[in-house]
A and B are shown apart, each in its own frame.
Chain A
Amino acid sequence: MTEGSIGRVTPQRLAFDTPLALASGASLPHWELAYETYGTLNAARSNAILVCHALSGYHHVAGHYADDPKNVGWWDNMIGPGKPIDTNRFFVVGVNNLGGCHGSTGPSSINAATGQPWGADFPIVTVDDWVNAQARLADALGIETWAIVMGGSLGGMQALQWTIDLPERVRHALVIAAAPKLTAENIAFNDVARQAILTDPEFHGGNFYRHNVRPVRGLRLARMLGHITYLSDDQMAEKFGRKRRPSAGSYGFGVEFEIESYLHYQGDKFAGYFDANTYLLMTKALDYFDPADAFEGDLAAALARAKAKFFIASFTTDWRFSPARSREIVNALVRNKQSVSYAEITSPHGHDAFLMDDHYYHAMVAAYVRNIKT
C-alpha cells in the first residue's frame, strides 16, 4: 500500500444535551464537540484510534479540506493510508477538546443562558473532563473500546488519563513527549504566558468579545514564550544563530536578529486566529494534570488500574518534557509489571519533535502499531 494523504476530509459536530459534570464542580448543560474521522470502523468495532491534541491543536489531524487544500491536519505525517497510523487498517478519530476554539464548546461559543459568548464564565476544564467528554463521543460513535488512545505532549497526558479513568476502554496508549505532571518550571512558564494575556488591556477580564477587540498583544507574547520552550538550544543555534536581518546594526530596538523575526512571525500568526481564553484554559489543564496526586504522589499506584499496554516515546533535546519525565512513567509501569516499550529518540527538534517527520520515530510507531490486532 503506498503511503499518502487521507485526502479530503470533512469536520463534523455532535451536540450533547446531557449535562457534563466537571472536575471543578461546575457543569456544562449543553455542549458540542467538533471531530473528524478517517478510515472505516470495522464490524467488530475493534480498530478505533483516538488522537488527542496538545495545547494549540484541534480535531483536524490529517488530510485537508475541500475549500482549503492548504489546511493540512497537524499530524498528517503520522496518519493516513500506509502511514504509521494506517487508515487502511484503523478508524481514526480526532476531536477538539472542550474549551477549544475550533468548533467545540469553549469560551468563544455562545452561552445559551445569556445569548452572549461564554468568555470569563466558561468553567475551567481538566484533562479528566476531556476524557469524560471524549468517552461520550466514543459512546455516540459506537466505540466501546479504543484499540489505541494516543497523543503528544498534553495529548499524551490525555492518553495516560484514559488508561487510569476508563481502563476497560483502552487497549493501547501511545504517550509521546509527555510527562506525568508539570514541574514548577513548567508551571512558571505557563504563568508568564497567562499573565501576558491577563494583563493585556484588551482582555477585559475575559469578556473582550463584547468589546469587539482581542488581546492580541498578550496572546502573541504567550505564544512567543511557548515557542521558545518548544525548540532546542541546538536547533535555534543552527537555524538562527546570531544571523541578522538586513536592517540590523541600527542601534535601535527594531527586529535585528533572525530569531526575533521568527518569534514575531510565529506570535503574530498564532494571535491572529487563536482564542486567548482557550489558551488560558489549556495551560491551566496542563498545570492541574497530576494523576498521581490522588495517590499520595505515587504514580505507580495511579497507573495500577490501567489495563492498556503502553508505548512511551521522548526526544533527546526536548527540555520542556525531557526524556527523564517519560522515564518516570516507564518506571512506574515496570514497577507494576505492566507492558511498556520506551523509545528515546535522538532529534534536534526539541519538544516540537513529536510533530516532525522523523524516519526512526515513525518507524518505531509503525512497528508498535503493526502488532496491534484489530
Chain B
Amino acid sequence: MTHTLKRSDFDVIASWMKPGESVLDLGCGEGELLQLLGERGLRGWGVERDPGLVLAAVENGVNVIQSDLEAGLAGFENDAFDHVVLSRTLQTMRHTQQILAEMLRVGREAVVSFPNFAYWKNRMAVLNGRMPVSEDLPYQWYDTPNVRFFTMLDFEGLCEGMGIVIRDRQVLEERGGIVTEEANFLGSLAVYRIGRGS
C-alpha cells in the first residue's frame, strides 16, 4: 500500500468532515489519517491493536488507544464522536455486523472503506484461476490479514438489512482516480459514509 494511494482514500474521508468535529479512527495504524485531520482542525483519537503501530502513532504525536476492535467499543459512550472511521479494515474483522453497529452507536455517522472484491481485475484473476493480488488487495492468499471478501453490492445489501443509511459513496480505481460509472466493476476501493436509519 503506497502512501499516495492511502492519501486518496483519506482525501475522500477528510472531505466529509469539518474543522472542530471529533473523529474516532478504528485501526488507525501509524495515525496518518489522524495527522491529516488534525491539520484540518479536527480532534481525533485512534484505536489500534498492533504494538508496533501504536508506537508509531505515538511517535507521530496523535492520540492512540491500544485496544482490539474485535472486543467491541464498549469503553466509548453513545454519540461520543461526530465521525467514526474504519479505513481498509472491515475486511480484516470477523464480527462485521457488530463493528458496524458499534460504530453507529458511538458515532453520529461512520465512514467505511474497503477493497472491492468485484473490481474487474479481481474478477479476471479469479477467472484465470488465481486469487487476486492488487494495489488494494496487496497480499497473497496465505498471508492476508483479510478474513471477509465482499463486494460493494454485498456491503450495500448488508446495510439495507441492518437498517443503515448510505449517505455518500466515493469509489476509487487502483491509482486513486474517481470512478463515476459501473462502480462495482471499475472500483478497486470503495468509501462509504453511513448513518443510522430512522
A interface, CB within 8 angstroms of B: 311, 327, 330-331, 334-335, 337, 339-346, 360, 363-364, 367-368, 370-371
What's the Cα separation between A366 and B22 when bound, in Å? 27
Once the chains bind, are A371 and B65 in contact (CB under 8 Å)?
A: no
Give the Cβ gap from A25 to chain B, nearest Cβ, in Å.
Answer: 37
B61-86 CB contacts (< 8 Å) to partner A: 61-67, 75-77, 80
B54 at the A interface (CB under 8 A): yes
Q: Is the CB of A334 within 8 A of B58?
A: no
7 cross-chain pairs, A with B, having the tightest CB-CB distances, nearest first? A331-B75, A367-B59, A367-B58, A342-B65, A344-B66, A371-B61, A341-B64
The reply to whether B55 and A334 form a contact with Cβ atoms under 8 Å apart is: no
B45, B62, B66: the one contacting A334 at CB < 8 Å is B45
Distance of A110 Cα from B146 Cα, bound (Å): 68
Assess the B58–A330 pair: CB atoms within 8 A: no
Interfacial chain A residues near B54, Cβ < 8 Å = 343, 364
Contact A335 B80 (CB under 8 A): yes
Q: Which of B22, B66, B75 contacts A343 (CB 8 A)?
A: B66
What 1/0 mask marks residues of chain B from 17 to 54 whose CB sits below 8 Å from any chain A CB?
00000100000000000000000000101000001001
Q: Which residues of A contact B75 (CB under 8 A)?
A: 327, 330-331, 334
**Additional A-B contact list (18), CB under 8 Å, known A335-B80, A340-B63, A342-B64:** A330-B65, A330-B75, A331-B77, A334-B75, A335-B77, A337-B43, A341-B62, A341-B65, A342-B65, A343-B54, A343-B66, A344-B66, A344-B67, A345-B51, A364-B54, A364-B55, A371-B58, A371-B59
* Bound complex: CA A339 to CA B54 (Å): 15
Report the Cα distance A240→B195, complex, angstroms. Answer: 55
Q: Can you name 18 A-B pairs with beta carbons within 8 Å?
A: A330-B65, A331-B75, A334-B45, A337-B43, A340-B63, A341-B65, A342-B64, A342-B65, A343-B51, A343-B58, A360-B55, A364-B55, A364-B58, A367-B55, A368-B58, A371-B58, A371-B59, A371-B61
Q: Which residues from chain A contact B77 at a C-beta distance below 8 Å?
A: 331, 335
Cα A363 to Cα B51 in complex, Å, equals 11
B81 vs chain A, min Cβ distance (A): 9
Chain B residues in 8 Å Cβ range of A330: 65, 75
A340, B80: Cβ atoms closer than 8 Å: no
A309 vs B103: C-alpha distance when bound (angstroms): 25
| Nearest A residue (CB) for B77 | A335
- List B residues at the A interface (Cβ < 8 Å): 22, 43, 45, 51, 54-55, 57-59, 61-67, 75-77, 80
CB of B139 to closest CB in A, whole Å = 25
A331 to B63, CA, bound (A): 13
Question: Which one of A331, A339, A345 lies within 8 Å of B76 (CB-CB)?
Answer: A331
Residues of B contacting A331 with CB < 8 Å?
75-77
Interface centre among B22, B57, B61, B64 (most CB of A within 10 A): B61
List, in ascending order, chain A residues with CB within 8 A of B76's CB.
331, 334
Q: A339: which B residues are within 8 A, CB to CB?
A: 63
Contact assessment for B63 and A363 in the assembled complex, using a CB-CB cutoff below 8 Å: no
CB distance from A294 to the nearest CB of B (A): 22
Q: How far is the CA of A340 from the CA of B44 in the complex (A)?
A: 10
Task: Kindly list chain A residues whose C-beta atoms are within 8 Å of the C-beta of B22.
Answer: 337
CA distance A340 to B45 in the complex (A): 8
Query: Which residues of B sit under 8 angstroms from A371, Cβ to Cβ?
Result: 58-59, 61
With the chains together, A330 CA to B76 CA distance in Å?
10
Which residues in B have their C-beta under 8 angstroms from that of A340?
A: 45, 63, 65
Q: Which residues of A contact B80 (CB under 8 A)?
A: 334-335
Give bound CA distance, A331 to B66, whole Å: 12
Q: State A341–B76 Cα separation when bound (angstroms).
A: 15
Least distance between B69 CB and chain A CB atoms (Å): 13
Instruction: Report how far A33 CA is from B86 CA in the complex, Å.
Output: 51
Set of chain A residues within 8 Å of B65, measured between Cβ atoms: 330, 334, 340-342
Give the nearest-CB partner of B65 in chain A: A342
CA A343 – CA B45 in complex, angstroms? Answer: 13
Indicate the member of B62, B67, B75 with the most A CB atoms within 10 Å: B75
Q: Give the shortest distance, in Å, between A172 (CB) and chain B (any CB).
A: 12
Q: What residues of chain A lie closer than 8 Å to B43, measured between beta carbons?
A: 337
Residues of A within 8 A of B51 (CB): 343, 345-346, 360
Residues of A within 8 A of B66 (CB): 342-344
Nearest B residue to A360 via CB reads B51
A335→B59 CA distance, assembly (Å) = 23
The distance in angstroms between the C-alpha atoms of A121 and B107, with both chains bound, is 54
Contacts of A345 in B (CB 8 A): 51
For the complex, give the distance between the alpha carbons of A330 and B63 in Å.
Answer: 11
